[in-house]
């Protein structure tokens, strides 16, 4: 993935990093490791949407490491060290990089879920673009049969990408669309099927159940499908995203998150909360509206973008 995309994510999260640094006074002077500094750090992480539990666990970890560090090396334990310890603790909590699942023996089926406006359709198109760029033959499927506009939007992306699109008439059965798309993929030798779904309000139980049905029916058309249930989360919704993720996980067995709109938020910390509290890895990062604005999520690069370069303006090397 290009430098340019990473730079965009950095710019988006820059505000968070700046905020954290300002809070700690790292840019202006040296962080004092007193209670007030720890409290400021805690407040800054909470404001970045890292979440109460995750913030608490990470800071406990950092304090413990800082204590051990200082004991082993008198004079250590200043701001650059703490910054390095914080960086390491956050990266560790995100876990190793997780990639989108694939089906090595046939069509890879991806079910894209999320609330309205999150960025599902755009992310589905970006995924089709990626599969095509890798030499595959993707099919887009519109399982949002509630809105005619949804099918039109997806079909427009398909035309632009030069890929096939499976759509049914409005009011049709969403599961039937997914089923047909997988059958079409088998007949045409398509490497991937990306199923876009309706913006199911997570508060509407019947819609969530229907999402579970779409997944089950996909499994009947192709054993093992869907290989990936990708929840598209708008990073700008912050902690609300955690509640959404929990609902979608329970209804549809989410296997990965695409955290999008990271190019325009100071609240990307929700990635940490999702991993910590739900055990779901963030696999992709959306950093713009263009087709190539989708990155494999890289925990270390993300944390660097989130908390800023080590020691901020001090230019530390952590
Ligand atoms: P859906 O209702 O979940 O299908 O959402 P859409 O895919 O229609 O996206 C809603 C809006 O979010 C559109 O204006 C997209 O261009 C925009 N969008 C999606 N992903 C990103 C992203 O990573 N960054 C930015 N800045 N905008 C995005």
Ligand 1 contact, 49 CB (< 6 A):
no
Spacing, Cα 127 to ligand 1 middle (Å): 13
117 within domain boundaries: yes
| Confidence band of 318 (pLDDT split at 50, 70, 90) | very low
- CA dist 202 and 212 (Å) reads 13
What's the half-sphere exposure (Cβ side, CA atoms, 13 Å) at 125? 23
Instruction: Write the pLDDT tens digit of every residue in 109-118.
Output: 999 999 989 9
- CA dist 54 and 295 (Å) reads 24
| Confidence band of 162 (pLDDT split at 50, 70, 90) | very high
Considering the domain architecture, whether residues 160 and 55 belong to the same structural domain is answered as no
| Confidence band of 308 (pLDDT split at 50, 70, 90) | low
Considering the domain architecture, whether residues 204 and 291 belong to the same structural domain is answered as yes
Ligand 1 contact, 289 CB (< 6 A):
yes
- Residue nearest (by alpha carbon) to ligand 1 atom 13: 119
Considering the domain architecture, whether residues 88 and 218 belong to the same structural domain is answered as no
Considering the domain architecture, whether residues 81 and 185 belong to the same structural domain is answered as no
CATH of residue 76: 1.20.120.140
Considering the domain architecture, whether residues 279 and 151 belong to the same structural domain is answered as yes
Domain that holds residue 199: 108-296
CATH of residue 261: 3.40.50.300
Burial (CB < 10 A; 0-12, 13-18, 19+), residue 203, is exposed
- CA dist 248 and 198 (Å) reads 13
Instruction: Write the pLDDT tens digit of every residue in 248-291.
Output: 998 889 999 999 998 877 678 899 999 998 999 999 999 999 99
Residues in the chain, overall count: 318
pLDDT of 67: 80
Considering the domain architecture, whether residues 137 and 77 belong to the same structural domain is answered as no
Considering the domain architecture, whether residues 252 and 140 belong to the same structural domain is answered as yes
Ligand 1 contact, 8 CB (< 6 A):
no
Token digits for 181? 């798309």
- Mean per-residue pLDDT for 9-25? 64
Distance, C-alpha 8 to centroid of its chain: 15
Spacing, Cα 309 to ligand 1 middle (Å): 28
| Confidence band of 9 (pLDDT split at 50, 70, 90) | low
Helices (H) and strands (E) in the chain, counts: 11, 8
174 within domain boundaries: yes
What is the number of structural domains in the chain?
2
Considering the domain architecture, whether residues 73 and 163 belong to the same structural domain is answered as no
Q: Which of 5, 9, 114, 119 to mutate to test the pocket of ligand 1 (most atoms within 8 A of CB)?
A: 119
Q: Which of 190-194, 207-211, 220-224 has the lowest mean pLDDT?
A: 207-211
- Mean per-residue pLDDT for 226-241? 92
- Residue nearest (by alpha carbon) to ligand 1 atom 2: 117
For residue 181, the SS3 value is: helix
Spacing, Cα 79 to ligand 1 middle (Å): 38
121 within domain boundaries: yes
- Mean per-residue pLDDT for 48-77? 80
Mean pLDDT over the full length of the chain: 85
Q: Which of 5-19, 208-222, 235-249 has the lowest mean pLDDT?
A: 5-19
pLDDT of 69: 74
Ligand 1 contact, 114 CB (< 6 A):
yes
103 within domain boundaries: no
66 within domain boundaries: yes
pLDDT of 21: 64
pTM for the whole structure: 0.89
The residue among 248 and 201 whose pLDDT is bigger is 248
């Amino acid at each position: 993935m290009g430098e340019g995309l990473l730079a965009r994510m950095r710019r988006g999260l820059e505000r968070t990093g700046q905020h954290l640094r300002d809070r700690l006074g790292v840019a202006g002077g040296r962080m004092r490791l007193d209670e007030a500094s720890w409290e400021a750090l805690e407040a800054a992480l909470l404001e970045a949407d890292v979440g109460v539990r995750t913030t608490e666990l990470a800071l406990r970890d950092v304090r413990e490491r800082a204590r051990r560090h200082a004991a082993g090396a008198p004079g250590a334990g200043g701001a650059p060290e703490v910054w390095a310890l914080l960086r390491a603790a956050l990266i560790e909590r995100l876990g190793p990089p997780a990639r989108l699942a694939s089906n090595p023996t046939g069509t890879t089926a991806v079910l894209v879920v999320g609330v309205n406006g999150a960025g599902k359709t755009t992310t589905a198109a970006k995924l089709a673009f990626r599969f095509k760029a890798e030499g595959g033959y993707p099919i887009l499927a519109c399982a949002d049969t509630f809105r005619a506009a949804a099918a039109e939007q997806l079909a427009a992306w398909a035309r632009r990408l030069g890929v096939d699109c499976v759509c049914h008439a409005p009011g049709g059965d969403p599961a039937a669309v997914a089923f047909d798309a997988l059958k079409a993929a088998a007949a045409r030798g398509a490497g991937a099927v990306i199923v876009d779904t309706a913006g199911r309000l997570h508060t509407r139980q019947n819609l969530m159940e229907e999402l579970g049905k779409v997944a089950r029916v996909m499994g009947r058309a192709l054993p093992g499908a869907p290989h990936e249930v990708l929840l598209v989360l708008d990073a700008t919704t912050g902690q609300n995203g955690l509640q959404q993720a929990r609902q979608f996980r329970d209804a549809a067995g989410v296997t990965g998150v695409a955290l999008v709109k990271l190019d325009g938020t100071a609240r990307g910390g929700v990635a940490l909360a999702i991993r910590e509290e739900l055990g779901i890895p963030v696999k992709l990062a959306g950093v713009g509206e263009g087709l190539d604005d989708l990155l494999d999520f890289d925990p270390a690069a993300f944390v660097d973008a989130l908390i800023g370069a080590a020691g901020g303006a001090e230019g530390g090397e952590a």
